[in-house]
Amino acid sequence: MPAQILDGKAIAQQTEAELSERVAQLKERSAGQTPMLATILVGGDPASATYVRMKQNACKRVGMASIAVEMSEETTTEELLAKIDELNSDPTCQGILLQHPMPSQIDERACFDSIVLDKDVDGVTCLGFGRMAMGEEAYGSATPQGIMRLLAAYDIPLQGKNAVVVGRSPILGKPMAMMLLNANATVTICHSRTENLPDIISRADIVVGAVGKPEFIKAHWIKDGAIVVDAGYHPGGVGDIELGPLHDRVAALTPVPGGVGPMTINTLILQSVEAGEKKLA
């Protein structure tokens, strides 16, 4: 039986329609105000600039406001911290996105952690991660939260399942593992240096590829009937998992592109709307 395709693009479009209604209702209740997301881009990385434009366009589609802050390649940590502090204090701004990666002279972690919790709509702060891991209120890191929303949209059972997350980044692998654990899955965190990785993956009911290497996870490592989530995207339109041979073997999979990617931006916008509802309603 062909694998069920977990269509992130379709779920994101459906959610955008719902968010447009929520933004319109909020605008009526708050004398014309709408949620506002501030995007900060440091330097001229073309891929980062494209991602920021995509996020700003998503804001427009749902009727949200956005402000684009562009800073030079020579920006210092102190200058960036000052700009974030300014946005933290701006009552018209309900969400802050600091685009990664940043130039090497910047202390990324210090800058991420300077974003106040209630404006951390991209889920990048240590405080937000800790609260999420403890089951407290916080905005989840956008990509893993988007994956959780996608799995929920297709009624994929998680409780008691053996999940393997391949990747340990602070904004994807680690929060993904905590979210699955909070959903009562049994979670193993692996990475590119894990020994006996094929054997570990072969026992997984759910495999999440988040290692950042094209087709690093081979199809024959994955058992029949598994749920396969590929959070990678690389030139040539491939992800972190060798998906081609899996379409007739696994229960469900996320396509690349069109699976996890659209859910990442959609989750950022959803959480920005939620932040606006808390402040403006």
Pairing label, strands 95-98, 186-190: unpaired
Strands (E), the chain: 4-5, 36-42, 65-71, 95-98, 162-166, 186-190, 206-209, 227-230, 252-253
For 67, which DSSP code?
E
Of the candidates 43, 37, 87, the one whose C-alpha atom is nearest the C-alpha of residue 63 is: 37
- Residue 31 has a CB neighbour count (10 Å cut-off) of 7
224 catalytic per annotation: no
Active site residue 159: no
The one catalytic residue among 7, 94, 99, 119: 99
Q: DSSP secondary-structure letter at 2?
A: P
Q: Report the distance separating Cα 120 and Cα 117, nearest Å.
A: 5
**Catalytic residue selected from 122, 205, 230, 240:** 122
Query: Helices 173-182 and 142-153 meet at what angle, rounded to 10?
Result: 40
Quote helix, strand, coil % in the chain, to nearest 5: 45, 15, 40
**For this structure, is 4 an active site residue?**
no
Q: Cα dist. 119→89, 131, 177, 213, 273 in Å? A: 10, 14, 23, 31, 11
CA dihedral (252, 216, 129, 200) in degrees, to 10, reads 70
Report CA-CA distances (Å) from 258 to 121, 129, 132, 185, 238.
22, 26, 26, 25, 11
Catalytic residues: 55, 99, 122
